[in-house]
Amino acid sequence: MNKQLYKNLLDNELKKIKKENRYRIFNEIKKSDSFPLAKKAYKNKFKDILIWCSNDYLGMSRNELSIKRAKDCLDNYGIGSGGTRNISGTHSPLVKLENDLANLHCKQKALVFTSGYVANESTISALTSIFKDSIIFSDEKNHASIISGIKKNKCQKYIFKHNDMIDLENKLSLVDINRPKIIIFESIYSMDGSIGDLAGIVNLSKEYNAFTYVDEVHAVGMYGKTGAGISEKFNLQNDIDIIQGTLAKAFGTIGGYIASDDLVCDAIRSTASGFIFTTSLPPLVAESARASIEYLKSNSELRIKQQENVKFLKNELLKHDIEILKNITHIIPVMIRDAELCNDISKHLLDNYGHYIQPINYPTVKKGEERLRVTPGPFHNKKMMLDLVDSLEKTFRKFNFNKTRINAA
């Protein structure tokens, strides 16, 4: 059998990706108990680095309470869950976790999936199957998992301009009021750090009889009085049909979920293949997630410190004329606007100054919008942040990257 044909196809695809400067480098990281400090593997050695691009936004992966609960659960339950939800995988810690998530979002029920990606893809796919002849209205900057869920059943869709309520209403007005409609959007968009117009979408959904679905993965744990996200912050939890979130970012563990009413969750758990046909989360993960939720509901110190650090770093970057996309969230996009240069700057920062910030290139962002995505947390200090700004300036000078070049681009 001649397999050269397949090897050539694979090789050509990789060459194309590399030529377009979007070949992904996966850095091996050895985390320490002093997050955000870590070590990066260089051949047979490990070098000290400082992580600036983690989605462990509050450092909860090292929270003592969460770790203790996981260890205790490990002794009581072992490692694996033993099966799918239908086949011995519905263990007590998971049931309790779903109850905790429902309470967090003021909903009747919650369902836990193996990841936020699976939660989005599975739930959206199931909804478009249940709501026959449904039509999707999706923000143009929605996450890949949302797009994948929409594509699975090849339903009709409208893509509306980011946060543009006029464009959304114009598109809603084209559809029969009695036809099933689902508006899908995010509360915080991870690459820009912009906040979705939740209130505007809720108002339009009521006027045009639409079902609402919000992705809160970059907000849960950090916004709202108890960390339930932007929908809690704006007091809109009861007005949104499905709230989707993750346990893998601010809560510091792994897994995704949806929270809604009993009827919605019963229908999703009965039809979503990504929920039915995969092994459930291990008990120790469920228990550590419960501990993280409990901790962040009653402790606001980490959120407050994170917000202080974000404000400080944004001010320092602007003070040194480093272009960032302005927003009021914890995500700081440092704009480079060139794929090759973005890769080079990221590598130079890591190899020469120990600052680890992965480059963000196409297709994650549009071509010409390449950036470094910085996410300072509560455990970064002012010395670290000042050193980062200084290292960025030195690196920019090395590559002759300045405001003039930005404007020319």
Enzyme catalytic residues:
249
Q: How large is the angle between the packed helices 283-298 and 92-104, nearest 10 degrees? A: 30
* Contact call for residues 362 and 339 (beta carbons, < 8 A): yes
Q: Smallest Cα–Cα separation from 54: which of 358, 307, 269? A: 358
* Contact call for residues 214 and 169 (beta carbons, < 8 A): no
Q: Smallest Cα–Cα separation from 371: which of 341, 328, 396, 407? A: 341
Residues forming a β-bridge with 112: 257
Question: How far apart are the C-alpha atoms of 255 and 119, rounded to whole Å?
Answer: 9
Q: Cα 384 vs. chain centroid, distance in angstroms? A: 24
Question: How far apart are the C-alpha atoms of 103 and 159, rounded to whole Å?
Answer: 32
